[in-house]
Amino acid sequence: MNNILVTRSSMPSFEEYCEEIKELWDTHWLTNMGTKHKQLEANLKRYLDIDNIELFTNGHMAIELTLQAMNLQGEVITTPFTFASTTHAIVRNGLKPVFCDIDPVDFTIDTSKIENLITDRTCAILPVHVYGNICNIEEIDRIAKKYELKVIYDAAHAFGEKYKGKSAGSYGDASVFSFHATKVFNTIEGGATCYKDEQLGRHLYELKNFGIHGPEEVSAVGANAKMNEFCAAMGICNLRHIDEEIEKRRVVFERYVERLGNIEGLQLNAVQLEVKPNYAYFPVIFDEKVFGKSREEVFEALAKENIGARKYFYPLTNTFSAFHNKYDVTKTPVALHISKRVLTLPLYADLQPEDVDRICNIILQ
């Protein structure tokens, strides 16, 4: 039996990629916002139907430097049910994360609990679109306007998605994508920030390029977070095939639903109205008392058959040892409950129906 990893990177043909990077051997321009970088930016603007985008070396630097570019101070309301990057970006900017619990159905930030967390030190809300589930955008927007807060969406899971006909990248003051190799769309490593305020865009450009404003002007203390030409070229190639890749993912997703959709003790990802999905992940919540087996037992049973599922997201970021018990996890009980029971099953464009059946058979047996 072949090994099945939790995900597998989408790639163009070898010939297509080689053709795309061929000119780099002529120009020797390998980084520093060359032709591939500029072309990918333009292509992403068209695909995502947005006005402004800045590319980065990875999604983490995109979110960290976006927070820095906004010159925020104080507290940022966010969720612990996310990847480490989201919380670390807040902390590394000298900001304090204030953790809000999650909705038990779609796993995004519970907007009914945000206002009780707002203080005179709150400067922003950083919600996370989880597994491709879109946050309650209208309520977040209402709260942000009422209290004059910035909104930065972690949209790492939402590439290619639309909500009410608008790109997921068009919401908030900024929306940040990850183009990591494991994502629906990848540039090998990479990320981007979509934004509305052009002044913010200028700050982002400076911060990703050492704070350099011109040939003889360095006006900010910046980082080095530029996407190189080889990564941009991979993005150009992958973007050509993205709709086809998402369609292949849909077929896998629906096969899982067909096999697991009516099993007592299994909670599958809810289908959201007015969202055009990207089928990024297939999370399953295991209720041990009803299903008869725990998440851990299912995880081990799959592992014995060389199938790599993932406890995603576990542990919660507010339980990380790096924070030395600084945060009270009992304040986010729903997130804690879900984190101990969730398992994301393998899902990628080339996953075959017989492999989905094999995975489901192990779970059901």
pLDDT tens figures, 81-111: 999 999 999 999 999 999 999 999 999 999 9
Residues present in the chain in total? 365
Cis amide leading into 333 (omega within 30): no
Q: What is the pLDDT of residue 35?
A: 98
Q: What is the pLDDT of residue 213?
A: 82
Give pLDDT tens digits for 175-195. 999 999 999 999 999 999 999
Q: At 2, is the pLDDT very low, low, confident or very high (cuts 50, 70, 90)?
A: confident
What whole-number distance in Å separates Cα of residue 149 and Cα of residue 111?
14
Query: Is pLDDT above 80 for 238?
Result: yes
pLDDT tens, residue by residue, 154-167: 999 999 999 999 99
Q: Tell me: pLDDT of 1 over 80.
A: no
| pTM of the shown model | 0.97
The answer on pLDDT for 33 being more than 80 is yes
Give the pLDDT band (50/70/90) at residue 276: very high
The rounded mean pLDDT for the chain is 97
Span 242-256, pLDDT tens digits: 999 999 999 999 999
Task: Write out pLDDT tens, residues 290-349.
Answer: 999 999 999 999 999 999 999 999 999 999 999 999 999 999 999 999 999 999 999 999
- Taking alpha carbons only, the member of 75, 77, 80 closest to residue 318 is 80
In order of start, what are the domains of the chain with their CATH numbers?
14-240 (3.40.640.10), 242-364 (3.90.1150.10)
**Kindly report the CA angle at 256 between 250 and 258, in degrees rounded to 5?**
100
In terms of phi and psi (left: phi > 0; alpha: psi -120 to 50; beta: otherwise), the region of 194 is: beta
Q: Give the model confidence (pLDDT) of 49-81 as tens digits.
A: 999 999 999 999 999 999 999 999 999 999 999
Q: How far apart are CA 88 and CA 291, in angstroms?
A: 35
pLDDT at res. 74: 98
Helix (H, G, I), strand (E, B) or coil at 300: helix
Mean pLDDT of 280-286: 98
- SS3 for the chain is CCCECCCCCCCCCHHHHHHHHCCHHHHCCCCCCCHHHHHHHHHHHHHHCCCCEEEECCHHHHHHHHHHHCCCCCEEEECCCCCHHHHHHHHHCCCEEEECCECCCCCCECHHHCHHHCCCCEEEEECECECCECCCHHHHHHHHHHHCCEEEEECCCCCCCEECCEEHHHCCCEEEEECCCCCCCCCCCCEEEEECCHHHHHHHHHHHECCEEECCEECCCCCECCCCHHHHHHHHHHHHCHHHHHHHHHHHHHHHHHHHCCCCCEEECCCCCCEECCCCCEEEEECHHHHCCCHHHHHHHHHHCCECCECCCCCCHHHCHHHCCCCCHHHCHHHHHHHCCEEEECCCCCCCHHHHHHHHHHHHC
pLDDT value of position 296: 98
By three-state DSSP, how is residue 97 classified?
A: strand
214 — pLDDT class (breaks 50, 70, 90): confident
Q: For the segment 113-168, what is each residue's pLDDT rounded down to a tens digit?
A: 999 999 999 999 999 999 999 999 999 999 999 999 999 999 999 999 999 999 99
DSSP strand pairing (150-154 vs 174-178): parallel
